[in-house]
Chain A
Amino acid sequence: MIGIAYALIAVIILILVPWVGVQGLGLTYLFGVIIPYAAMAIFFFGFLQRLVKWSRIPNPFKIPTTGGQQKSLNWIRQSKLDNPSSTSQVIGRVLSEVFLFRSLFRNLSPRVGTGGSGVTYASAKWLWVFAILFHYAMFTTLFRHLRFFTNPVPFPVRFVEGIDGWLEVGIPQVMVSGLVLLCAISLLLARRLVIPRLRYISLMNDFFPLFLLIAIATTGVLMRYIVGIDVPSVKQLIMGLVSFRPVMIDGIGQLFYIHIFLVSTLLAYFPFSKMMHSLGIFFSPTRALANNNRAVHHENPWNYPVKFHTYGAFEAEFRDKMTEAGIPLDDTLATSTGKE
């Protein structure tokens, strides 16, 4: 549980750093340009390095976890998504994990009966709900942010924004995704805090990204709805960054620097964190391989011969007993050893 305290302290420090840095020391260029660039670079190369590292390690064996009927006799219906036997089916399986969190959807949890009466199982889809909410809200929010990176803002971004603002309340208009995102992160955090089993397995590495995201989302929400920032200036700054012609613009609120510093931290932390599960799922041997080992040969690149106990050695030891029991001996073996 100490992990949660460390994580919280770390995030508080991460909020204070840009505050002191910009407000106190006036290091706007450092926080507005250098650090974002560095973070992008770390993210990019870190991610790439991980990708290369993982893809270099072979899959010696094809070990999909089969979650449905195999392909065998043609009158038995194969469960193509849960027990894929071809590449396209494997792609289907992986995509169903990526977009629908299929495995998480199966979740059940044991209910212990009273007085030793045993255990029953009930569907437990809360984690699935939270995870779906979180990831899709995250995606939408990120996508909306493209308005800061593009000029003119492309239609899909405006379109998503339009949908996202369906509530049509508030000035500026309330974006549902941002609020859902905050809620979902809070729920994921609450889950970790409230469920004893999760509290027990959670590490600092699990709390830190959650706190960081909460801080990022909160600063975002504050900027949009409460404190307000100079949107055109921010866009100018970001466009400058994107086009590699950074410009410094005065009068962008303090909050923005905190926001962008936290995002930079997240980016730089990403490739070394559990968030790499986003890439990992595509590499997972139990999900991303076909269960067709019996039909198609799979080569293990580091396969090597082993010295197994040969039939010859076996027969040599048991020849008499086999003869007596009427078990045929190998005549090719007998002649080759010169025995009649």
Chain B
Amino acid sequence: MGNDLPKLEELSQIDLTMPEAGWMDTPVILRKGMYCHAARAKDIEFLNMPNPRDWRVEDDDWKLPENWQDIILDGLRERLQKFRSLRIFMDTCVRCGACADKCHFFIGSGDPKNMPVLRAELLRSVYRHNFTRAGKIMGKMVGARDLTEKVLKEWWYYFFQCTECRRCSLFCPYGIDTAEITIIARELLNLLGLNIDWIASPVAKCHHIGNHIGMEPQAMKESIDFLCDDIEDITGVRIEPSFNRKGAEILFVTSSGDYYSEPGIFTCMGYLMLFHQLGLDYTWSTYAAEGGNFGYFTSHEVAKLLNAKIYAEAKRLGVKYILGGECGHMWRVLNQYMDTMNGPPDFLETPVSPVTGTRFDNAASTKAVHICEFTADLIKKDKLRFDPKRNDHINVTYHDSCNVARGMGMFEEPRHIINNACNNFHEMPEETIREQTFCCGSGAGLHAGEDMELRMRGGFARANAVRHVREKHGVNMLACICAIDRAAFPTLMEYWAPEVGVTGVHELLGNALIMDGEKERTQDIRGEDLPYLEPEEKGDKH
């Protein structure tokens, strides 16, 4: 964690009172710890995006192109014609305040401009000034203001303080989605090269190497082979997954976090074990090696650019359909965008589970099935055998990742898996789960190191609920189906709710899954001794 990160006591002082001065009269102060580093020229150039240059957030001069105002306003005008969402959201807000206290960033920071309604007003005020008659004539009186450099910096600061989680949208009587406004505002900022490094760099790597972390094909294979070695140690079963194999039935795509770092790799081991046990005819790809899509945090175009590889690879390999791993925003894109952006993929077939014969009609067009749907079906049809005792040292709660919750609505499938693989499962308070779930505070490309205070503040609402079940039920594990969650939660838990670990749902499944030919397991997937065996072992020694 960053050394500058304020102490827990300080961040625990939740203060949601409003300041005296009106928000338009409060110029933005870019506070260290609350923002990410600027994107680098080379990454922006790499994608042929406009206005690449090296700049620093701390500098007064952001080296904006001379006609930057025109660029933004033209960009806004164009998008007002292209996105009904934007126009409607600009025109219909009544400032009822229903969304105001729904944002985890507002709850954790108390900064009024983190109220979704004000975040949206940051853009709406400029829209009024330039695109409505009343705003042109009456100006500030009706909430309109000119686009100045200060305003632009304010945009940058606050649109990179939104994780596009859509919690605000759920509560808005008109469904105004500040996430959508953020997405488009970021798109505008990108016209000026004002991205953040934590997004631009993974995007560049994903574009040309194939995944966000820039892991080359041989390293990716090595990494997965390494996980197979671990699986062999623990279960005695040797797994030989295939890569870029033509003619496989299924292309499996997941976020690179799953084969790159802890605790994601344990989830990945769960996938590998499951697929092996089923004898699934599937392949990994080192080209379409990334399910996550940081392009989606950049612009619709870049989202499409990165996403296009998945269908292209599915076509090249001649698979029948796509199976997608546990990742949040990956599934927002796969569920709501992929088919429109790069489909329909007529060369694929409506997914059918080769084990149960279940046809996934809900994916009839996009031909992409979520692994939790796939696995829940297997369990329901009794195709898997479990020994949930092996998860008895785990007292788990489940975090609904925002994208999967409010951009898809997958709530029961993962719970079905957890309930079958674990004996100890406790839900967090109702207002913080399912469709009302709180973001991890690090989504939408914000899980960098330099904005740690922002992340801890943003994750407070989620962690607060975890703390509650930790105290009430002794919960010691937070399960999720999102790679960013798995990357972000360990730090968040360490800060707010120590002693709570982080896991993917398929890690829990892997622990409990009884595989053919496995030896008696004494360790869980993490290589830790299974505590429930210990008394017996001691008994043996006597």
Contacts and interface: CB of A to CB of B under 8 A. Distances in A.
A73 B380 contact: yes
B269 to A, nearest CB: 20
A129 interface: no
B341 interface: yes
A284 interface: yes
Given A72-B410, A73-B377, A107 B91 contact: no
A273 to B, nearest CB: 9
A118 B464 contact: yes
B146 interface: no
A119 B82 CA distance: 40
Nearest to B110: A112
A190 to B, nearest CB: 13
A3 B141 contact: yes
Interface string B1-18: 000000011001111111
B101 interface: yes
Nearest to B345: A297
B405 A66 contact: yes
B408 A291 contact: yes
A204 B140 CA distance: 9
A311 B365 contact: no
Contacts of A202: 95
Interface string B518-531: 00000000000000
A257 B316 CA distance: 75
Contacts of B340: 60-62, 293, 297-300, 303
B305 A306 contact: yes
Interface string B93-106: 11111101100000
Given A280-B174, A306-B305, A204 B409 contact: no
Contacts of B368: 294
A197 B335 contact: no
Given A281-B173, A298-B340, A321 B305 contact: no
Interface in A95-133: 97, 101, 103-104, 106-110, 112, 116, 118-121, 127, 131
A35 interface: no
Contact of B358 (A68, A73, A286, A293): A73
Interface in A157-208: 195-206
Interface stretch (B163-171, B391-399, B507-515): B163-171
Interface in B294-351: 300-301, 304-306, 308-309, 312-313, 316, 334-337, 339-341, 343-344
A156 B22 CA distance: 48
Contacts of B134: 205, 272
Contacts of B107: 110, 119
Contacts of A303: 340-341
Nearest to A299: B340
Contacts of B95: 198, 201-203, 206, 274
A69 B177 contact: no
Contact of B406 (A65, A116, A306): A65
Given A57-B84, A103-B170, A66 B406 contact: yes
A119 B312 contact: no
B173 A103 contact: yes
Given A274-B93, A295-B364, A284 B141 contact: no
A325 interface: yes
Contacts of A97: 173-175
Looking at B112, B172, B176, B435, which has the most chain A CB atoms within 10 Å of its CB? B435
Interface in A317-340: 317-318, 321-322, 324-328, 330
Contact of B217 (A63, A298, A310, A327): A327
Interface residues of B, number: 120
A236 interface: no
Interface stretch (B227-235, B240-248, B447-455, B480-488): B240-248
Given A70-B409, A200-B22, A327-B217, A60 B175 contact: no
A250 to B, nearest CB: 38
A156 B298 CA distance: 55
B84 A121 contact: no
Nearest to A106: B171
Given A66-B406, A104-B98, A201-B117, A284 B373 contact: no
A224 interface: no
Given A62-B336, A283-B84, A277 B92 contact: yes
Contacts of B287: 311, 314-315
Contact of B312 (A53, A58, A103, A310): A310
Given A201-B100, A309-B208, A322-B286, A63 B180 contact: yes
Contacts of A155: none
Looking at A6, A61, A202, A315, which has the most chain B CB atoms within 10 Å of its CB? A61
B461 interface: yes
B174 A284 contact: yes
A296 B344 CA distance: 9
A287 interface: yes
Chain B contact residues: helix, strand, loop or mixed: helix
Contacts of B377: 73
Contacts of A298: 339-340
A314 B121 CA distance: 43
A302 interface: yes
Interface stretch (A22-30, A75-83, A142-150, A212-220): A75-83
A254 interface: no
Contact of B336 (A83, A103, A293): A293
A108 B365 contact: no
B217 A321 contact: yes
B344 A297 contact: yes
Given A104-B173, A106-B171, A127 B180 contact: no
Given A60-B340, A203-B143, A295 B361 contact: yes
Nearest to A203: B143
Nearest to B180: A63
B83 A321 contact: no
Contacts of B309: 308-309, 311
B366 interface: yes
Interface of B: 8-9, 12-18, 22-23, 80-85, 87-88, 91-98, 100-101, 107, 112, 115, 117-118, 121, 132-134, 138, 141-143, 166, 169-177, 180, 207-208, 210, 216-218, 221-222, 243-246, 286-287, 300-301, 304-306, 308-309, 312-313, 316, 334-337, 339-341, 343-344, 358, 360-366, 368, 373, 376-377, 380, 405-413, 416, 429, 431-432, 434-436, 460-461, 464, 467-468
Given A284-B88, A295-B363, 16 more contacts: A2-B141, A65-B175, A68-B435, A69-B410, A97-B175, A110-B461, A201-B100, A204-B141, A204-B143, A272-B133, A276-B91, A280-B174, A281-B92, A303-B340, A311-B313, A326-B221
- Which 6 A/B pairs are nearest by Cβ-Cβ distance? A116-B12, A280-B92, A66-B409, A325-B218, A286-B175, A70-B409
15 contacts: A50-B91, A54-B84, A61-B300, A73-B376, A85-B362, A104-B173, A199-B18, A200-B22, A203-B143, A285-B84, A294-B335, A294-B365, A298-B340, A314-B210, A328-B245
